[in-house]
Structure 1
Amino acid sequence: MAAVKSDIEIARAAKKKPIAEIGARLGIPADALAPYGYDKAKVGADFITSLSDRPDGKLILVTAINPTPAGEGKTTTTVGLGDGLNRIGKKAVICVREPSLGPCFGTKGGAAGGGYAQVVPMEDINLHFTGDFHAITAAHNLLAAMIDNHVYWGNAENIDVRRITWRRVMDMNDRALRQMVASLGGVANGFPRESGFDITVASEVMAILCLASDLNDLERRLGDIVVGYRFDRTPVFARDIKAHRAMTVLLKDAMQPNLVQTLENNPAFVHGGPFANIAHGCNSVIATRTALKLGDYVVTEAGFGADLGAEKFFDIKCRKAGLKPHAAVIVATVRALKMNGGVRKDDLSAENVEALQRGCANLGRHIANVRKFGVPVVVAINHFTSDTDAEISAVKDYAARHGSDAILCRHWAEGSAGIEELAEKVVELAEGGQAKFQPLYPDHLPLMEKIEIIASKIYHAGEVTSDRGVQDQLKTWEEQGYGDLPICVAKTQYSFSTDPNLRGAPEGHVVHVREVRLSAGAGFVVAITGEIMTMPGLPRVPSAERIFLNDEGFVEGLF
């Protein structure tokens, strides 16, 4: 039996076409592309503006059950479905997020798909790519530097250094930087204060870039960032210290969507990369809107399980950008469902229909949740070789009892040929006129009530608790005019609850909101729950230990 090639080996063997040729398939002229080498390019803002009068294609969301160590393959399915739609004659474009270096060198790995359903160049996309994350990091930290510099040179805005809320960021997992004291070393270094670092994908600048419609909107949103409070408790904005315009300059190129291709030479936009557990988890609005003008179908993903990614896609991205999804795909694997049913990872290869049926409760919860937004759903069973016919039939039967088709997909091993049936079903749903999209809650409700609605209707929690300081802060923001903002819950991705070990479909648990953060420029309020960290740490054995250059100068160990 031939050895199975690794993702990076498959990607390295790709027969890529010049990026200008990929752009031409979408009607993008060569002079509207800014190439980054042979196989990737940014799409110019003037060309994007020229598309405004075109009708939109149909928007398809790919989401998933709660992730497990067994793997689900959401990005792989997103790429495979895009290839599958093109295979059956539809003009389809893929929109996914850029990977963060933190997970690439930590535990999760990259986010370029897998097997024969990948976007390429895989190594570039998972590493520095076109430098967008570096630009976001620089813009964020420029603001941090200008805040401390403003205080050092007289503090004309009367900023209370005890109430500076703007932290610094870097695109790496580094738990040692979560809490720190800055400006030590004497008078020349400023005024010592407690601060810390978040990972770049948790930055409000990342969220702003992903939600802004153009450079003017980007600059306005950057100016609206609240960086701290004065001694009289009034907010200090980035525009008050005159940082927003220079930040926009740093982000000028990063705002342009990145065009690449799949292994089957189909077009894909890879742009923006907020995490879904600590941020809103969607690729950029500008990339999605551009794709909708250029393609008949746009397949995009939302991070982690539907309780986080899909909810934020619907309640934040679609609400703010005026997008209306036509169908949703929920990715599940037999292995992950068995794990949700109580099977240990080492035992997942053995058939266990009983445990699988127990674990299907997680899938059923996600199906019901997505339907609450008025979006029709189909289940994609991402195939593993250890899956048995009885287990696959059990998933299909369970989905059928919950009013959805579950379709076996072999795109990892077969590319677009292994996902044609799902592509046909997606077209049927999207063309069927069933979608009647609506967000989960209206804008006008109090902020805490919005949190409670998400917790009860999506997580099936029995109660939401918080300290008095959290409640007072939410009321203050409402008084300052931020009450209409949506909520972005920072929560573990592994469970509907805030306990990562509580799998399946728990009911009646308690969601404790321990901190809230205002992202005034992005346009949402972050509610931090459980033990979620906005700066992750590396595991005991990080992936970085297995990543190296081989004797031929090629990267090994990325996945």
Structure 2
Amino acid sequence: MKKIASILESFNIDKDDYEFYGKDIVKIDFTKYQNLKKKGNLILITSINPKPSGEGKTTTAIAITDGLNLIGKKAMIALREPSLGPVFGAKGTATGGGESEVLPVERINMHFTGDLHAITSANNLISAVIDNEIYWGTKLNIDINRIVWKRCMDLNDRALRNVEVQIKKNIKRKDKFTITAASDMMTILCLSKNMEDLKTRLENTIVAYDVEGKEIFLKDLNVVGSVLALLVDAIKPNLVLSKYNSPSLIHLGPFANIAIGTNSIISSQLALKLADYAIVESGFGSDLGFEKFMNVVNYDKDLIPDCVVMVVTIASLRLHDDFINNFYHLEQHLKHVELYNLNLVVAINVMNGDSQEEVDLLTKWLTKNNYSFERNNGYLEGPQGSKKLAQKIVEICDNKKNIKWLINKEDSLETKIKKVINNFYYLKDYDFSENVLNKLKILNNSKYANLPICMVKEHSKIDGNIANLENYKIMIRDIELNSGAQFILVYTNSVFSMPGLSKEANFKDINVDNNKITGLK
């Protein structure tokens, strides 16, 4: 507690503006720091399409933060909160690894400070109120077939993807569960800049339509105040320390293949106000997390990266590229960053099993094509293993560039979709379902026409062609308006917003021995 208090003091955070959740976690009241004029350098972490166990983006982001603090820079990281679904399911922890880790791992990956539970409760309160309105037959006249708000829970449970709820003996309706990380409530809170902004977004969230087709907003349910009461602490960023005492904000966690894939705007902005270098991680590969950071999170153009770090591992490159003849997959991801004329460095995340021959082939190709790169060995060596990478990032941040933008607010929704498909998935052909064409016509003639689009896509292939089909076309199968988060979801192919558990999921390895949680990996 003394260590955290001392570090917070060094970042000029007053003791009245934070409270401890146990001895090693604090919540920060960010409100008085919003108007600070100081703005640090933003380092955005992304990667190529990851292998099933990930690319080590979080590990690399923590290593860079530790490395920057080692060389005398004032650095702070902003990460997403783990979701219990992946913890017990496919991927495991979201706290880094080895010597590049944030602590306490067990608490962060389990209940932490209760943010995701609060979001789940707030989300499901709204669903309960909607059904209560139908039960009592109020003047809202809700059309039970046009309720767009979904229930959620923070676990992988495929059986809840489609459910039927009985409101009265003679009234049943279809409903869906999403995982909390993919819920509308998560993205609304994550994109809110303060409590006032959150209130406005909630009030203007469409939850259903009445029998005449008129929009029903959350404010019409008279529940906004209660929702805010449930979120009054969840909106505050959490702070912990890395193994090497780097301050680490961990706050909110939307999925990147469904939602925006980045921690809260509040925590990113707080890190930028307090530190000289703010390190932020985007989800999955640059075809998802980076694309959404630039085109959705950054829609107001106020979070421009001073340097983008592309994380690669030799193991993943073996899945995608031919070391002898080309690095085509890597090059596609690097071009994503070049679209915006941003500073770029490739971080080669060192792992056991890397062959020196393959490393040499990679570095030779990067040198030949004028890409800046450095190896990161923070996993094994801590800050010393990422020192050179940190130094390179500092040098690159001094090279100020004029950013370019891919998408304009004035672009039609079809144009926005086309630009992402052409420039990020490298596809020329795509199809809209009839349902989508009808919805696009309505949205293009509405007050929502200038909103950004948030693509929903499978994460392991850059084009989403997981079946390796010939003459492949990506299908735009549905679109949904999220008026609270202020974007339009565009669903491609078949991606579930409620994951399922695999046959050999992580829950089989987790246990408690001598009151300590074991098996998290």
* TM-score, normalization by structure 2: 0.97
2:500 is matched with 537
Match in the other structure for 1:549: 512
- Read off the aligned partner of 1:482 and give its amino acid letter: Y
Counterpart mapping for 1:394-409 below 5 A: 394-409=361-376
Question: CA 1:226–1:458 in structure 2 vs 1: closer, same or farther (change >3 Å)?
Answer: same
Inter-partner Cα distance in structure 2 for 1:438 and 1:249: 41
User: Quick check: 1:144–1:166 contact (8 Å CA) kept in 2?
Assistant: yes
**2:53 and 2:91 in contact (8 A); partners too:** no
3-state SS of 1:183 partner: strand
Conserved in 1, the CA contact under 8 Å of 2:30 and 2:270? Answer: no
CA distance in 1, matches of 2:273, 2:246: 16
Kindly indicate whether the alpha-carbon contact (under 8 Å) linking 1:512 and 1:530 is maintained by their aligned counterparts in 2. yes
Name segments (4+ residues, structure 1) moved above 6 Å.
Answer: none
Structure 2: distance between partners of 1:404 and 1:235: 50
- Aligned equivalents of 1:236 and 1:90: distance in 2? 50
Q: What is the CA distance between 1:238 and its match in structure 2?
A: 0.8
Is 1:165 matched up with 2:131? no
Distance in 2, matches of 1:303 and 1:358, equals 29
Deviation per residue, 1:413-432 (Å, 9 max, x gap): 00110011111111111111
Gaps of 5+ in 1: 1-15, 342-354
CA contact (8 A) 1:326 1:430 kept: yes
How far has the Cα of 1:439 moved from its partner? Answer: 3.4
Please give the residue correspondences for 1:403-442 in structure 2 after superposition, counting only pairs within 5 Å: 403-434=370-401, 436-442=402-408
Amino acid in the other structure paired with 1:555: I
2:24 counterpart residue number? 39
Q: Which moved more, 1:38-47 or 1:276-285?
A: 38-47
Indicate the residue corresponding to 1:303 in structure 2: 283
- Contact kept in structure 2, 1:18 and 1:38, CA below 8 Å: no
Choose from 189, 197, 214 the match for 2:194.
214
1:349 — aligned with what? none
- Quick check: 1:264 aligned with 2:244? yes
2:431 matched to which residue of 1?
465
Residue of structure 2 aligned with 1:481, choices 447, 462, 471: 447
Structure 1 segment 378-397 matched on structure 2, within 5 A: 378-397=345-364
The one-letter amino acid paired with 1:383 is V
Q: Tell me by how many angstroms 1:509 deviates.
A: 4.1
- In structure 1, the residue corresponding to 2:447 is in which secondary structure? helix
Question: Matched residues in 2 for 1:507 and 1:298: separation?
Answer: 43
1:358 CA displacement: 5.9
Q: Distance in 1 between matches of 2:325 and 2:461?
A: 15
Partner of 1:241: 221
Which residue of structure 1 aligns with residue 133 of structure 2? 150
Question: What does the per-residue CA deviation read over 1:121-140, in whole Å, with 9 as the maximum and x for residues that have no partner?
Answer: 11111110000000100111
Task: Name the CA distance, whole Å, in 1 between partners of 2:151 and 2:180.
Answer: 9
Q: Distance in 1 between matches of 2:278 and 2:482?
A: 28
User: Counterpart in 1 of 2:271?
Assistant: 291
Q: Deviations over 1:95-149 (max 9, x none)?
A: 1100000000001111111110011111111110000000100111011111111
Please list, as runs of the form range in 1=range in 2, the aligned pairs for 1:47-446 lying within 5 A after superposition: 47-49=32-34, 52-69=35-52, 71-183=54-166, 186-187=169-170, 191-320=171-300, 322-341=302-321, 355-357=322-324, 360-434=327-401, 436-446=402-412
Does the Cα contact within 8 Å between 1:459 and 1:497 map onto a contact in 2?
A: yes
Give CA-to-partner distance per residue, 1:185-216, whole Å, 9 cap, x none.
725xxx20011100000111111111111101
- Separation (CA, whole Å) in 2 of partners of 1:128 and 1:438: 41
**Partner letter of residue 369 of structure 2?**
H
What is the Cα-based RMSD across aligned positions, in Å?
1.7
Distance 1:87 1:18, change over 3 A: closer
Mean Cα displacement is larger for which, 478-487 or 177-186?
177-186
Q: Equivalents in 1 of 2:292, 2:281: separation in Å?
A: 11
The 8 Å contact of residues 258 and 455 in structure 2, kept in 1 or not, is answered as yes
1:17: Cα distance to partner?
5.9
The letter of the residue matching 2:265 is V
CA distance in 1, matches of 2:478, 2:186: 20
CA deviation profile, 1:79-105 (whole Å, cap 9, x unmatched): 000111111111000011000000000
Could you tell me whether the CA contact under 8 Å between 2:199 and 2:228 is conserved in 1?
Answer: yes
Q: 1:494 aligns with which of 460, 464, 469?
A: 460
Contact 1:490–1:528 (CA under 8 A) maintained in structure 2: yes
| Deviation, structure 1 residue 271 | 0.4
Q: Give the secondary-structure state (helix, strand or coil) at the position aligned to 1:255.
A: coil
Is the CA contact (8 Å cut-off) linking 2:343 and 2:399 kept in structure 1? no
Q: Distance in 2 between matches of 1:358 and 1:261?
A: 43
Q: With structure 1 as the length reference, what TM-score do the two structures score?
A: 0.90
Shift of 1:359: 7.2
Cα distance, 1:78 vs structure 2: 0.4
Distance 1:135 1:463, change over 3 A: same
CA distance in 2, matches of 1:19, 1:150: 47
Paired residue secondary structure (1:83): helix
CA offset at residue 384 of structure 1? 1.2
Assess if the C-alpha contact under 8 Å between 1:40 and 1:259 holds in 2. yes
Aligned residue type for 1:143? I
Distance 1:557 1:311 in 2: 34
Other-structure match for 1:526: 489
CA distance in 2 between partners of 1:357 and 1:106 (Å): 36
Asked if 1:513 corresponds to 2:480, the answer is no
Contact 2:131 2:167 in 1 (8 A): no
Task: Please give the alpha-carbon distance, in whole angstroms, between the structure 2 residues aligned to 1:17 and 1:338.
Answer: 46
Q: 1:359 to 1:554 in 2, by over 3 A?
A: farther
Q: Within 1, Cα distance between the matches of 2:474 and 2:208?
A: 27
Which amino acid counterpart does residue 228 of structure 1 have in structure 2?
A: A
Query: Which residue is equivalent to 1:454?
Result: 420
The change in CA–CA distance for 1:326 and 1:229 in structure 2 (over 3 A counts) is: same
Counterpart of 1:160 in 2: which secondary structure?
strand
Q: Please, which runs of 5 or more residues in structure 2 have no aligned partner?
A: none
Q: Assess if the C-alpha contact under 8 Å between 1:460 and 1:509 holds in 2.
A: no
Q: Distance in 1 between matches of 2:347 and 2:56?
A: 10
Q: Which residue of the partner structure matches residue 4 of structure 1?
A: none
Instruction: Output the CA distance in 1 between the equivalents of 2:42 and 2:93.
Output: 24
Identical aligned residues as a percent: 38
Contact residue 134 and residue 167 of structure 2 kept, 8 A: no
The CA deviation at 1:274 is 0.2
* Conserved? CA contact 2:190–2:265, under 8 Å: yes
- Are the aligned partners of 1:72 and 1:333 in contact in 2 as well (CA < 8 Å)? yes
